[in-house]
């Protein structure tokens, strides 16, 4: 379509403004550059240029109407999030950089340069609008508040995660300590059972050996009785034979006597050996019995000490409160307990308390000493009537 006079005037103004902006923000056109011979020999058709300008004007007009129509809907639908707005701004910056690069590449072609310039101008306008929306005070404050809430929430979650990890680590350490204590107690019990089993087996073996030794001693005594009976029987038979007039040879009597004497020596040696074995076994059994009695006494003394310590702890708990570790964290006695037990945790507090006690045991002429007074110290009179009534 043929544009009217007003449209020609607007086109002229737009061309002048575009030229000014192009000279200010973009590289100069190729008017001052050396164009190729083909560009100089092929002038552009005026009708095609005018038609292209008309199409550009219509496109800008429709784009402006579309942007004006979208603005109320965007305001009505609510403000976009900061992340989406920043992403859009970043995309617009990328598009603007591409448009600037296209302007530099099409500096020799006036028609293509005008298209690229209109595109860059539109992108710049959108970017400026987006930046204006980002710079709004209330929205910026709301985004900052939201980011602050998100940062606080992340910090809170991080602290909670660290506390949870610390609790898990402490719980694992406690479980490991308990398992180590249980393993140690189990090993002690197994060792005690094995020791008792060995002692029982040793005692049974000693009893068996002692029984065997005593059995052998009984056999020796029985053999000695048999020898005495045999000697008595020979004497009686010899006397009966003499009464009948039968005599025995001297060699037979000597052989019988030497045989008896040899057997008596053997029995005597065996008796000495068996007596020594019996004495050794009795000493060993007595040592085991003494050790068992000593262990029983130690157990009894240990139980007595534990009972005494438990009684002392109960009395101390009645007088001064229970164990500090047994008190809850929010107990009313916790500050007092920490004050009176600070020497157990701090070396400085221990030295200070020791110094406060040592000032009473140094000589009286010591500059830092404070000797114990030899008599009662009477307090001063009350300063007012209320204090006197309370005293």
Using the predicted structure, report yes or no on whether residue 350 has a pLDDT greater than 90: yes
3-state secondary structure of 384: coil
Q: Distance between alpha carbon 299 and the CA centroid of its chain, in Å?
A: 39
Q: What is the pLDDT of residue 160?
A: 92
Residue with tokens 């701090």: 346
Q: What is the pLDDT of residue 13?
A: 45
Assign 285 a pLDDT band (cuts: 50, 70, 90): confident
Higher local confidence (pLDDT), 43 or 207: 207
Report the pLDDT averaged over residues 172-201: 90
Q: What is the pLDDT of residue 348?
A: 92
Do 56 and 14 meet the contact criterion of CB atoms below 8 Å apart? no
Do 32 and 108 meet the contact criterion of CB atoms below 8 Å apart? no
What's the pTM? 0.34
Instruction: Tell me phi and psi for residue 240, to 5 degrees.
Output: -65, -40
* Tens-digit pLDDT profile for residues 209-231: 888 888 888 888 888 888 889 88
DSSP-derived letter for residue 263 is: H
Do 274 and 217 meet the contact criterion of CB atoms below 8 Å apart? yes
Mean pLDDT of the chain: 77
């Amino acid at each position: 379509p043929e544009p009217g006079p007003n449209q020609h005037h607007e086109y002229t103004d737009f061309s002048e403004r575009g030229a000014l902006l192009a000279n200010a923000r973009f590289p100069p056109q190729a008017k001052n550059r050396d164009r190729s011979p083909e560009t100089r020999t092929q002038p552009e058709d005026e009708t095609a240029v005018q038609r292209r300008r008309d199409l550009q004007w219509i496109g800008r007009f429709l784009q402006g109407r579309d942007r004006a129509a979208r603005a109320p809907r965007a305001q009505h639908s609510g403000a976009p999030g900061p992340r989406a707005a920043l992403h859009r701004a970043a995309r617009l910056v990328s598009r603007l950089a591409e448009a600037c690069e296209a302007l530099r590449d099409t500096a020799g072609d006036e028609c293509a340069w005008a298209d690229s310039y209109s595109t860059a101008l539109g992108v710049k306008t959108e970017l400026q609008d987006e930046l204006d929306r980002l710079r709004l005070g209330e929205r910026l404050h709301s985004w900052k508040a939201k980011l602050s809430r998100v940062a606080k929430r992340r910090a809170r979650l991080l602290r909670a995660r660290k506390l949870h990890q610390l609790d898990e680590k402490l719980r694992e350490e406690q479980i490991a300590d308990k398992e180590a204590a249980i393993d140690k107690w189990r090993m002690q019990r197994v060792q005690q059972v094995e020791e008792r089993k060995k002692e029982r087996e040793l005692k049974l073996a000693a009893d068996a050996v002692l029984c065997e030794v005593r059995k052998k001693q009984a056999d020796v005594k029985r053999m000695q009785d048999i020898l005495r009976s045999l000697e008595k029987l020979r004497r009686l038979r010899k006397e009966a034979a003499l009464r009948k007039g039968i005599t025995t040879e001297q060699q037979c009597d000597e052989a019988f006597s030497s045989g008896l004497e040899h057997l008596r020596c053997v029995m005597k040696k065996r008796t000495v050996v068996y007596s020594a074995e019996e004495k050794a076994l009795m000493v060993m059994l007595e040592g085991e019995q003494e050790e068992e009695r000593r262990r029983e006494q130690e157990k009894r003394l240990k139980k007595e000490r534990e009972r005494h310590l438990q009684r002392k702890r109960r009395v101390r708990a009645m007088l001064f409160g229970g164990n500090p570790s047994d008190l809850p964290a929010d107990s009313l006695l916790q500050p007092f307990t920490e004050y009176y037990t600070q020497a157990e945790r701090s070396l400085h507090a221990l030295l200070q308390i020791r110094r406060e006690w040592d000032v009473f045991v140094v000589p009286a002429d010591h500059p830092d000493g404070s000797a114990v007074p030899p008599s009662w110290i009477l307090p001063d009179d009350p300063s007012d009537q209320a204090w006197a009534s309370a005293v």
